[in-house]
Structure 1
């Protein structure tokens, strides 16, 4: 096979949670460039409609959905709707996430529970629902968006979000365990662990400590709009058919 053909996604369908902005939108753009049809969802549908509209204008089959990833009924309804509208789901990108900044000793229990519920439980529920379809078709690619924060502990003045960091560490092990469980179904499960990117979630941190973070990064970089696209495409295509249960850090070397 021509190497370039390994990276093509014509005829494939991807469901991307939190696909209306930031990394989710960038991944949607990358997969659509390879010929993939795109379904994007989030708790507020309007956040995804702009992404879907932009892709439609490029000639890509795309649609936005409202979905609360912490609600199993909502997740199941969304997955069923995507399967009905597109004919199937070949790729799932679990990108929806939230955070909460606070000293550990002062963090409200409800804040901790919210972060765990969105980042961990949401990843579980979406994987469970889409995975049932993938098991039936005996193929699938699942990409979980973890974080460098789930690998390396940051000083509190840079990242004071213990619930977020803990949740992303949980996503990393969930990825490995699920990959082992579903390998027999030819379902590949991998994770991407981004470092600091300019997103809504990191805006305040980068405004305060962006220069310091950049200086301490081995490549002296902050992620840009294209930095995650290549890895997401790799893990979505036949080019990664001998890769499962792995975590790829896209962080300029910050977790070294």
Structure 2
């Protein structure tokens, strides 16, 4: 029986790999047999995760990268290709969640969020796609959010630019999927709900009131556990999804249904 989730021999790039969902995905790729290239700005955290993966026998390569800076992205992709020869999988996970309404957000906050959450995917894809086209194979997975399709009403958690940027990720995902399908490149997006991560542990997970409210409206009655996004990421990154492209899967315990 063919193990379609076996990524042995594949090179997977994780942007935003120093913590949270990105670090979890890097671990999952390595466990599935892939060679993992990890990118992030915070090299100390990046190296700590890479060391953990390497100690378990994983083949891992790290490179500092600011996904909002074109030269930084170009240099990172060039370094990966020089090290591993090519790129088969790209997980665009770098992102920030800025709180605020259109009235309270500064222009700088708006631009920083859009640059990280949308421009970062554009730049990473811009320099990775040519390598995928050359080999007529590629898997791109973009991190959107449940907040691409729903809003948060509580004042403490309103994030208008986050809603906007993650909705833009869906548009970019569909556009790229349509353009590059002829090159055997699939492009899909995941939409996490409430996961414990560095992004949420100091905000959402600090509010017992919010957690109680979330659990009441979530059909599974709880936030996500660490690693529960990995199955969807691996599905989109492997040949299990060979005939799936341009899709968005919400991984939020059914919260979007309520």
Task: Give the shorter-chain TM-score range.
Answer: over 0.9
Could you tell me how far 1:220 is from its partner in structure 2?
0.9
Residue 202 of structure 1: aligned partner: 200
* CA deviation profile, 1:120-144 (whole Å, cap 9, x unmatched): 0001000111111111111100000
Task: Tell me whether 149-158 or 110-119 shows the greater mean CA deviation.
Answer: 149-158
- Shift >2 Å, 4+ stretches: 156-159
Counterpart of 1:43 (choices 17, 41, 45) is: 41
Residue 80 of structure 1: aligned partner: 78
Residue 180 of structure 2: aligned partner: 182
Could you tell me how far 1:158 is from its partner in structure 2?
5.5
Could you tell me how far 1:83 is from its partner in structure 2?
0.7
- CA distance in structure 2 between the partners assigned to 1:39 and 1:234 by the alignment: 19
1:32 aligns with 2:39: no
Structure 1 SS opposite 2:91: strand
Could you tell me how far 1:157 is from its partner in structure 2?
3.0
Residue 114 of structure 2: aligned partner: 116
TM-score, with structure 2 as normaliser: 0.96
Unpaired runs of 5+ residues, structure 1, are none
Residue 236 of structure 1: aligned partner: 237
1:154 aligns with 2:152: yes
- CA distance in structure 2 between the partners assigned to 1:100 and 1:232 by the alignment: 24
- CA distance in structure 2 between the partners assigned to 1:133 and 1:177 by the alignment: 19
Structure 2 SS opposite 1:255: helix
- CA distance in structure 1 between the partners assigned to 2:142 and 2:100 by the alignment: 25
Residue 190 of structure 2: aligned partner: 192
* CA deviation profile, 1:212-251 (whole Å, cap 9, x unmatched): 1112111112011121111111111111101100001100
Structure 2 SS opposite 1:104: coil
Q: Is the 8 A contact 1:158 1:205 kept in 2?
A: no
- CA distance in structure 1 between the partners assigned to 2:137 and 2:44 by the alignment: 31
Unpaired runs of 5+ residues, structure 2, are none
Residue 223 of structure 1: aligned partner: 224
Residue 55 of structure 2: aligned partner: 57
Residue 69 of structure 2: aligned partner: 71
Structure 2 SS opposite 1:102: coil
Residue 245 of structure 1: aligned partner: 246
1:98 aligns with 2:96: yes
Task: Tell me whether 97-106 or 229-238 shows the greater mean CA deviation.
Answer: 97-106
Count of aligned positions:
254
Structure 2 SS opposite 1:6: coil
- CA distance in structure 1 between the partners assigned to 2:58 and 2:127 by the alignment: 25
Task: Tell me whether 242-251 or 218-227 shows the greater mean CA deviation.
Answer: 218-227
